[in-house]
Structure 1
Amino acid sequence: MPTEQKESAPSASVPVTGYRLILPDDWAQIPLRHGTEEAVRRILDEAFSRIPPGSPEDKVGPYKRELERRFRAAVSRVQEGNALDLYLPVRSEGNVNLGASIVVSETVLPRRQEQAAQLDPTDVAVQLLAGDGLDNADLSSGELDGALAVRREHTAPADPDRGAGLGSRRVEYIVSVPDDPERWFAAAFSTVGGGDPRDDLADALVEWFDAVMATLRWRRG
């Protein structure tokens, strides 16, 4: 796992220009605005390199084409949502398929000066998270790197039309970007667990994602 370097405290007047998350080395970042194709090609090439030498081409060829098709389709679906980054586990531990992803995006609210003084940031965050009408979500709030953060957890049913053949456990953090009340950082985690979004593996991966989000740090300047 990469280590975090010590940095001098940045001035609060310097605007936030990005973020950092500390993830294990077996998770790959796919930028969705620039450099997407290079990242996708690198991940596919690494996956193909693990195919045992001498494997029959009539088996390997269709496998590689199907893997690439499904992988590119998954990336394209996330890009349609105008996200910033997609993180995926690119290696399995033993025979366990993590079946998980993290999508990072940014939401910019319309500027409404007449309401700015009346809106409580927590209320705004909850409204953003509740925009899809979920009634069974667990909501909580706190701080990440000095910024207000609202966490939502829920279970989503299978949706084969969107490539989700299994139900999934989802956890979303929406975080107020410091010094800019119209900007909100969002990180959405999804896992199918071991095939049941409420099983022990799903529980462990949700705890892991909460630990990852605790490493969130803002980049300034």
Structure 2
Amino acid sequence: MPAEQTESVSAPVTGYRIILPDDWAHIPLRHGTEEAIRSILDEAFSHIAGEASTDRVGPFKRELERRLRGTVARARESGALDLYLPVQSTSGVNVGASFLVSENLLPNRGKETGAHGAPADIAVQLLSSDGVDDADLSSGEIDGALAVRREHIVSADPDRGADLASRRVEYMVSVPNDPDRWFVVAFSTVGGGNPRDELADALVEWFDAVMGTLRWSHG
């Protein structure tokens, strides 16, 4: 999705850019999805080729592909634009952490002054509308745009493929010059099996750093 940036920052926002390490992969969910999946799987499979017999590698490859495609399918069902996953060069795809990028469009309430309310209030209302309790909320700016951050724990839900509880961090960012559009980035990790363990803490800190690299693309 990331688009070319023009010289004029006052032009409409057409995309975004973030900085990721090489061991994370981007899967666009509207166009180019299958190509991205095949690239990830081919890379993963290339590292295990010849390491074991076909009888042993075959089932592993099939399970790896099944899990990756299941993760992509659930991301698409949520209406997300992009999915980001960590990949491991020696053992394939690690779905113990991921984040989704999506967009939230507010209903058109007219252009009169004050029709939308304060952006921070709108963000909090949107984040609070799904009934999440005991969440930590904070706000700030990302690339000059208002951002509201929410962090909370989500219980395990095996029926939806979530066998373990997870730590969620969500950013809602107001798209510059367009009060109806909100950019939403939702990170999830199970840590080392406990969403409050040291690994989960480190991954949340890493995700916050990634969000600090977000820049808008204009066109």
TM above 0.5, yes or no, is: yes
- Cα 1:10–1:70 shift into 2, 3 Å: same
Match of 1:181 among 158, 163, 179: 179
Match of 2:122 in 1: 124
Aligned pairs (5 A) from 1:70-219: 70-91=67-88, 99-113=96-110, 117-118=114-115, 119-219=117-217
Match of 1:3 in 2: none
Q: C-alpha distance in 2, partners of 1:17/1:128?
A: 22
One-letter code aligned to 2:149:
R
Match of 2:57 in 1: 60
One-letter code aligned to 1:51:
I
TM-score (norm 1): 0.91
Aligned pairs (5 A) from 1:2-21: 10-21=7-18
What stretches of structure 1 move > 3 A for 4+ residues in a row? Answer: 7-10
Give yes or no for the alignment of 1:35 onto 2:32: yes
- Cα 1:146–1:56 shift into 2, 3 Å: same
User: For each residue in 1:57-91, what CA deviation from the matched residue of structure 2 results, as whole angstroms up to 9, or x when unmatched?
Assistant: 11111111111111101100000111110000011
Q: C-alpha distance in 2, partners of 1:14/1:197?
A: 40
Alignment RMSD: 2.0
- Cα 1:98–1:41 shift into 2, 3 Å: closer
Q: C-alpha distance in 2, partners of 1:155/1:93?
A: 30
Q: C-alpha distance in 1, partners of 2:99/2:134?
A: 21
One-letter code aligned to 2:88:
R
Report SS of the residue matched to 1:197.
Answer: coil
User: CA contact under 8 A between 2:102 and 2:183: conserved in structure 1?
Assistant: yes
One-letter code aligned to 1:147:
A
User: CA contact under 8 A between 1:98 and 1:193: conserved in structure 2?
Assistant: no
User: CA contact under 8 A between 1:107 and 1:186: conserved in structure 2?
Assistant: yes
Structure 1 unaligned blocks of 5 or more:
1-6
Q: Using the TM superposition, name which of 8-17 and 153-162 deviates more.
A: 8-17
One-letter code aligned to 1:88:
L
Identity rate of aligned residues, in percent? 69
TM-score (norm 2): 0.92
Report SS of the residue matched to 1:102.
Answer: strand
Q: C-alpha distance in 2, partners of 1:114/1:40?
A: 42
The Cα of 1:92 is off from its aligned counterpart by: 6.5
One-letter code aligned to 1:127:
Q
